[in-house]
């Protein structure tokens, strides 16, 4: 499925800066040490992507939610900012070069963006588990991308 969510024209301030960089590194270490954790009402994982411009590996802690078929779902919310988070563009550029760290193991996955009824069903499941994502959606006019992470075999 295509990664085609464009930036919106309104939204919250995009998270960033040194504090966020420190916070992400801290949480990624915590998730690795504990073999998981909680974040925004969901279980946490470390998303490892390849930078679309730099080619460098990037690590970002994100909340994940169980999909109906056993895969993992993540949301490119950027806290309701008008723009997508950088990792969304990294996934779009390299959807088959993604790895997650969860429950003490590294898993190779393929990323695919959900659309239509499939997205609506997943969105309902996510916002039921974590109403904060619905609040993020209200802040911006872009549709928050829902990404399915499918384990590669």
Indicate the pTM of the whole model: 0.90
81 in helix, strand or coil? Answer: strand
Task: Tell me how far apart the alpha carbons of residues 34 and 16 are, in angstroms, rounded to a whole number.
Answer: 25
Residue 9 within a domain: no
pLDDT at res. 16 = 76
Residue 151 host element (H or E): strand 146-151
In a domain, 58, yes or no: yes
In a domain, 6, yes or no: no
pLDDT given at position 71? 96
Domain of 126, CATH number, reads 2.30.110.10
Instruction: Give the integer Cα–Cα distance in Å for 151 and 98.
Output: 10
Residue at 53 is within a domain: yes
Which DSSP category does 71 fall into? -
- Total domains in the chain come to 1
Q: Is residue 127 part of a domain?
A: yes
What pLDDT sits at residue 58?
A: 94
Nearest to 72 by CA among 35, 46, 34: 46
Mean pLDDT in consecutive groups of 10 residues from the start of the chain, 153 residues:
87 80 79 70 88 94 92 96 96 97 91 97 95 95 97 90
Residue 2 lies in a domain: no
Euclidean distance between the first and the last CA atom of the chain, given in angstroms as a whole number: 19
Distance CA 9, CA 3 (A): 19
- Cα distance between residue 125 and residue 41, in whole Å: 12
Residue 11 lies in a domain: no
Q: What is the pLDDT of residue 27?
A: 77
pLDDT at 144: 98
d(CA 43, CA 54): 29
| Nearest CA among 76, 3, 88, 85 for reference residue 49 | 88
CA distance 33 to 95: 27
Within-domain flag for 7: no
């Amino acid at each position: 499925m295509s990664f085609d969510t464009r930036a919106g024209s309104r939204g919250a301030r995009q998270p960033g800066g040194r504090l966020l960089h420190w916070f992400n590194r801290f949480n990624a270490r915590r998730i690795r040490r504990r073999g998981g954790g909680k974040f925004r009402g969901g279980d946490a994982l470390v998303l490892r992507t390849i930078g679309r411009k730099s080619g460098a590996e990037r690590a970002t802690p994100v909340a994940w939610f169980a999909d109906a078929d056993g895969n993992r779902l993540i949301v490119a919310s950027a806290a309701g900012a008008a723009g997508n988070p950088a990792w969304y563009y990294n996934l779009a550029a390299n959807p088959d070069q993604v790895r997650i760290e969860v429950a003490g193991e590294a898993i190779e996955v393929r990323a695919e963006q959900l659309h239509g009824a499939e997205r609506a069903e997943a969105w309902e499941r996510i916002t039921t588990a974590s109403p904060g994502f619905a609040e993020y959606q209200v802040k911006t006019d872009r549709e928050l991308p829902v990404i399915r992470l499918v384990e590669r075999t």
